[in-house]
Structures are given as structure tokens and as C-alpha cells.
Amino acid sequence: MIKLLAVAFVLLPTTLIGLTAYTFPPIPGTPLCWLPIVWTGLTFISHLAIIINIIIDYYQFPVSLYLKAVGINLWYRIAPQNSSI
């Protein structure tokens, strides 16, 4: 049930904005004719970010420690290995 609500929270506003932009399209060639497409994308991304943030807070996933571990792992892969010059 919660997953269905999360999907609805992401898709319903995006669909509403997208259908509005499709029903009332801007005049081609106007300076802001790109805005409805970008606005629809931003709506999707922002609502998805809210759901991801709620999931991270609920499960208490340590994002900073994970990113630190990944960064250290990448650093040891990229950094030269004790080369004597």
C-alpha cells in the first residue's frame, strides 16, 4: 500500500503537469517554449527526491559513510601504488 502511494506521489503530479503542457502547448519559437518540458522533468525529479529522502530517513541508511567508503576505494584504485622514484 505504501509503495503504491509513493508511486502515485511521484507520477500523479508529473502526469498532471505533463498533460497540461500537452493540452495547452506554448507557441513555437517563443523564448520560454522549452519551459513546460523542463518543468515536467523537474516535477518528476523533485517528487522522486522527496520519496528517496523519506526512504533514507526511514531505514537510516548512512549515506555519508557510504560515500566516504566509495571515495576511499576509488582513491586507492586511482592513486599510484608506492612507486619509488
Q: What is the pLDDT of residues 43-70, one digit of tens each?
A: 999 999 999 999 988 988 888 898 899 9
**The C-alpha cell that represents 36 in the structure block:** 513546460
pTM of the model: 0.75
Sign of CA dihedral 46, 41, 63, 67: negative
Which amino acid is present at 26? P
Judging by beta carbons within 10 Å of its beta carbon (0-12, 13-18, 19+), is residue 40 exposed, middle or buried?
A: buried
Q: Are 14 and 46 in contact (CB under 8 A)?
A: no
For the chain, the domains span 2-78
